[in-house]
Amino acid sequence: METKTGLFTDILPSGAGFVTFSDGRQAFALPSLIRTMNLQLGDRVLCHLGPNFADKSTDRVPWRVLRLYIAQRADPVLAVGSGMEDLLAKSFAFLESHGGAWTAESVAENMGVVEVRFVSRALELLFRQGRVHRSVVTIWTGPDLSGDKDDDIYYAVEIDSLLPIGALDDDEEEMD
């Protein structure tokens, strides 16, 4: 078992995440570990590492976190570096100025040269901060509606942008 100190840098929409080490390589962290330890982006952590899952191991992500200890909590402002802070600001500004509900792919495409995975992380962070709303739309594509499904995640500044047109109006009328 190897022990390394790194920075908790990534949270995926699934709740899983990654610890990044000084050499640029990463270790995968299960969602249950992240929840249990209440990890926040920017936390400095001491990790006990094991080999990553065989189907997930790459040169960049050779380990998975078996245990960890928080060496230093992140600054409450999510001190994840100016690049991510800038992307958070740009992603929020895009949603705010364009209105409606958007997928990470749509936001990345409209913002230009930004990779979808980074926009996806930024939108997830904005959701976790309570600054945007999120909705998962599942489309069943199997012939009997029990098989294949395709999930799309939409983000919006206003919650009514995620609801069907007139949904709030109907509820308000019923309450009168």
Q: What are the extents of the domains in the chain?
A: 2-72, 82-175
Q: What is the mean predicted confidence (pLDDT) over 112-136?
A: 81
Convert the pLDDT of each residue in 52-94 to its tens digit. 988 888 888 999 999 999 998 876 544 444 456 677 888 999 9
Pick the CATH number of 2-72 from 3.30.70.260, 2.40.50.140, 3.40.1440.60, 2.40.30.10: 2.40.50.140
Q: pLDDT at position 30, please? A: 94
pLDDT computed for residue 165 by the predictor: 55
Res 170 pLDDT > 70: no
CATH top-level class for 82-175?
Answer: mainly alpha
Residues 15, 136: contact at Cβ < 8 Å? no
Of 3, 8, 59, 62, which Cα lies nearest the Cα of 38?
8
pLDDT digits (tens, 9 = 90+) for 21-38: 888 889 999 999 998 998
Exposure string of 12-45, with b = 16+ CB inside 10 Å and e = fewer, is beeebbbbbbeeebbbbbeeebbeebebbbbbeb
Indicate the average pLDDT of the chain.
80
Hey, which bits of 12-122 come out as E strands?
Answer: 17-20, 26-29, 44-51, 63-72
In this chain, the answer to whether the domains covering 2-72 and 82-175 adopt an identical fold is no
Please check the confidence at residue 155 and state whether its pLDDT lies above 70. yes
Residue 47, pLDDT > 90, answer: yes
- What is d(CA 139, CA 125) in angstroms, rounded to the nearest whole number? 25
CA distance 102 to 95: 8
User: How confident is the model over 44-53, as a mean pLDDT?
Assistant: 94
